[in-house]
Structure 1
Amino acid sequence: MKSPASLLCAIALAAGTLLASAHAHAVGRLLDVDVIDRDTGAPLPVYRHGSDWWIAGRPGARYAIQVRNASGERVMGVMSVDGVNVITGDTAAWDQSGYVLSAWQNAQITGWRKSDAEVAAFHFTTLPHSYAARTGRPANVGVIGVAVFRERLQPPPPPIGPMAAPMERRSAPAAGDAEAASPAACAEESQDKAVEADRSTSASAARPRQAAPHLGTGHGARESAWVSHTRFERRSPRPQEVISIRYDSHENLVAMGVIAPDRRLLPQPQAFPDSASSGYTPDPPAWR
């Protein structure tokens, strides 16, 4: 069931400190998004291919979605993995529950939310064993998404007393026109729509032939992860930013051309591997 736009599950995790190196991997503008290998604590390298961002997953490895609010105001991130909302388990849509972050706050989302106190850990697995495939929704396996919403601005209090100058009283723009009233907001909305169109076009293109089965995200062991509830009124029905990070195995990303193969690590075949040289019988060592 979809939740009302203003009432949602909010992050109540302790704010942490991002690794300095994480900024080199983060994707996004309003939110910095990394995918963290929980076994090493390091962010996974991000590769740009066309209009898409990619990471290479390791089958069996647990991971976390690390998010950092890069703005000075509260924002909400509606998060999906494999086309499934990570809080509710519904097929993902923008108007669903999300996580709220205070200004500059960062947190790690480590699994599918099971209650206010627990999640089922994210881990890379083969596509048929992914949570989405096991619940009959395999079509969008292989992508992590965050739809970012700004909070609706509160109107300023009305002037008090008769001394307020009439020229200072300005009529507030109609609801829904706040973004259009700002040239910067118009540019931002146009940019978001262009990025969204590019991603949609890329997603509809057929993938090249793969070297191994696709990866998905499994429904792992339960672990503690507390949250609380808050109210958040979105500034607009559409997100101000949509972040998508696609993933697959390292082998598949090499086969697709996302990652260049490291030929230095590949053994070079030899026609006569047991022939050290093509010369004649060497002399014995000199007498001493």
Structure 2
Amino acid sequence: MPNRKEKGMKLSMIAAGALLCGLAGPAAAAGNLADVTVHDRADGRALPVYRHHGRYYVVGAPGNEYRVRVRNRTGGDILAVVSVDGVNAVSGETANWDQAGYVLGPRQGFDVKGWRKSLERVAAFYFTDHRNSYAARTGRPDNVGVIGVAVFRRKAEPGARDDSPYPAGADAMSGAGTGAARSAESVASARDAPSPRAPRKSSSLGTGHGRSVSSSVTATEFERATDYPEEVVAIHYDTRANLVAMGVIRAPRVALPSPFPGQFVPDPR
């Protein structure tokens, strides 16, 4: 059985206070415990979320940096273990639920801007060709194209009252054979979901290891209430052309020339 007392990354008070903002509903992959959004750093906008066959998708622009915003919806502390392309965003390990993550206080949010290099700096996330992704360049190309957030509650002190807005297990279903609880709005793992049949029109996107940017946190410890996450939120990403080819986004209607656009002959100009 894994040890629940795991190293996490504690937000500084300044960073936490600066991020107490709401999330646009259409742009958020909403769970019971946390909201997750992907923001394009080129223009600061939250990328719209498309839902298709039980999965969430966003459109990535090749070359653009992005950040993943996680907001705690509960009245207690949570641990958010963040993975990008199957790689833990804090440790760089092949992602697993029992690894390091970010500790968020009640109603707090945090921008995960990149791969953590120290307590002060990260290497920026940016959309790039699959072959140039950090995961592919470190020999782990199989899970490129998905962002995941596994959420744990903090273990309550003896006699403490749980003031979270949702009781543990509410509106959730158990993962087969694991005891993991997932929100009804959360997304099944890639191996459980049907594979898209439509051919892709171009190379798929991945996430690169970009420039060094500031992102200050402090280290702390977090004792998990459960051995498995109470919620897993996943957001898949790719180019617009590929998502159109997969049927995630409806292809724009192209007007074709009509042989009979009018009924009578107009006067010349």
Length-normalised TM-score, structure 1: 0.78
Tell me if structure 2 keeps the 8 A contact 1:113–1:120. yes
Larger relative helix fraction: 1
Paired amino acid for 2:107: W
Deviates more, 1:34-43 or 1:90-99: 34-43
Tell me whether 22-31 or 73-82 shows the greater mean CA deviation: 22-31
Q: What's the counterpart of residue 120 of structure 1?
A: 123
Asked whether 1:69 is paired with 2:52, we answer: no
Amino acid across the alignment from 2:242:
N
Instruction: State whether residues 8 and 101 of structure 2, in contact with CA within 8 Å, keep that contact through their aligned partners in structure 1.
Output: yes
Residues 1-288 of structure 1 aligned to structure 2 (within 5 Å): 5-12=5-12, 13-17=15-19, 22-27=24-29, 28-156=31-159, 185-188=168-171, 190=173, 192=181, 198-203=188-193, 205-263=195-253, 266=254, 268-269=256-257
1:268, distance to aligned residue in structure 2 (A): 2.5
User: Which residue identity does 2:234 align to in structure 1?
Assistant: S
CA separation of 1:251 and 1:197: change in aligned 2, threshold 3 A:
closer
Q: CA deviation at 1:197?
A: 8.4
Q: For residues 80 and 19 of structure 2, what CA distance do their matches in structure 1 show?
A: 19
* Cα distance in 1, alignment partners of residues 259 and 5 from structure 2: 67
User: Counterpart of 1:185 in 2: which secondary structure?
Assistant: coil
Describe the shift of the 1:129–1:200 C-alpha distance in structure 2 as closer, same or farther (beyond 3 A).
Answer: closer
> Which secondary structure does the structure 1 equivalent of 2:39 belong to?
strand
Give per-residue Cα distances to partners, 1:114-147, cap 9 Å, x unaligned: 0111100000001000000000000000000000
Q: 1:88 to 1:17 in 2, by over 3 A?
A: closer
2:128, 2:187 → 1: CA distance? Answer: 29
- What is the CA deviation profile of residues 94-125 of structure 1, one whole-angstrom value per residue up to 9, with x for unaligned ones? 00000000001111110000011110000000
Deviation at 1:187, TM superposition (A): 4.6
> Percent identity, aligned pairs only?
43
Measured against aligned partners, the alpha-carbon deviations of 1:208-252 in whole angstroms (never above 9, x if no partner) come to: 310111000000000111110111100011001000000100000
Cα distance in 2, alignment partners of residues 41 and 231 from structure 1: 32
- Whether the 8 Å CA contact 1:51–1:199 is kept in 2: the answer is no
Query: Aligned partners of 1:237, 1:119: CA distance in 2, in Å?
Result: 28
Give me the whole-angstrom Cα distance separating, in 2, the residues matched to 1:85 and 1:21: 24
Q: What whole-Å deviation, never above 9, does each CA across 1:33-79 have from its counterpart, x for those lacking one? A: 00001111110000000110000101011100011111000000000
Alpha-carbon shift at residue 85 of structure 1 (Å)? 0.2
Shift of 1:16: 2.9
Secondary structure of residue in 2 paired with 1:60:
coil
Aligned pair count reads 253
What is aligned with 2:178? none
Is contact 1:5–1:95 with CA below 8 Å preserved after alignment?
no
Deviation at 1:9, TM superposition (A): 2.3
**SS at 2:45 equivalent:** coil
- Measured in 1, the distance between the counterparts of 2:187 and 2:28 equals 21
C-alpha change, 1:197 and 1:64, in structure 2 (3 Å) is closer
Q: Which moved further from structure 2: 134-143 or 201-210?
A: 201-210
Select the structure that is richer in strand. Answer: 2
Cα 1:53/1:153, change in 2 over 3 Å? same
Looking at structure 2, the residues matched to 271 and 125 of structure 1 have their Cα atoms a distance apart, in angstroms, of 43
Task: Provide closer, same or farther for how the CA distance between residues 109 and 222 of structure 1 changes in structure 2, counting only shifts above 3 A.
Answer: same
Give me the whole-angstrom Cα distance separating, in 2, the residues matched to 1:207 and 1:70: 36
Q: Tell me the C-alpha RMSD between the 2 structures.
A: 3.0
Q: TM-score, normalised by structure 2?
A: 0.83
In structure 1, stretches of 5+ residues that fail to align are 158-177, 179-183
Secondary structure at the aligned position of 1:97 is classed as: coil
Using the alignment, how far apart are the partners of 1:227 and 1:259 within structure 2? Answer: 37
